[in-house]
Every structure is written in structure tokens, then in C-alpha cells.
Amino acid sequence: MTTQELTTKVEAALDEIRPFLQSDGGDISLVSIDDGKIVKVQLEGACVGCSVNQMTLKSGVEMTIKKHAPQIEEVINVA
């Protein structure tokens, strides 16, 4: 899979979860994909100070990204 194909799959996953984040006043953006297996994202808006953002990141965002791109090993939030 090319880097562009992987980016497209990760963006599709983020588009799937974005409405849930936006309904809580937050958002998410893709920062980078390192080594084709580590996705770096940036939580935005209300998600930044939210006490459950790590749970959201792991159970929601990471799970959704892995569904679209199973080769992804980890999703990291960068500030």
C-alpha cells in the first residue's frame, strides 16, 4: 500500500469519527503517519481539555483507524 493510499484510509477513519467529536465541541486532524504504522493526530477544541480524551483516542479513534488500515499499530495524540 502506498503512503497516499494509507493516508486516504486514515482520513476516511477520521471522517467517520469526526461527527462524534464535533458534537462535543471538538475535532481531530491528522498530523503524520510514521513508518507506515504509527498515526499521529491532534485533538482540537473541547477534546484538548477533556478528561476522557485518552479513552476516546484509544477506544474510538485508534479502533476506527485500525478497522480502515489494520497495519496501523498505534495512534498518538500530539499537542
Number of residues assigned to the chain = 79
* CA distance readout (Å), 46 to 10, 50, 51, 55, 78: 22, 6, 10, 15, 15
Residue among 25, 20, 13, 26 at smallest CA distance from 62: 13
Q: Where are the alpha helices (DSSP H) in the chain?
A: 3-23, 53-55, 63-68
Closest CA to 4 of 42, 28, 30: 30
Whole-model pTM: value is: 0.89
Residue 27 reports pLDDT greater than 90? yes
**Over residues 45-68, mean pLDDT:** 87
Task: Give the mean pLDDT of 12-23.
Answer: 94
Is 47 a residue whose pLDDT tops 90? no
Fold of the 3-77 domain: GMP Synthetase; Chain A, domain 3 (3.30.300)
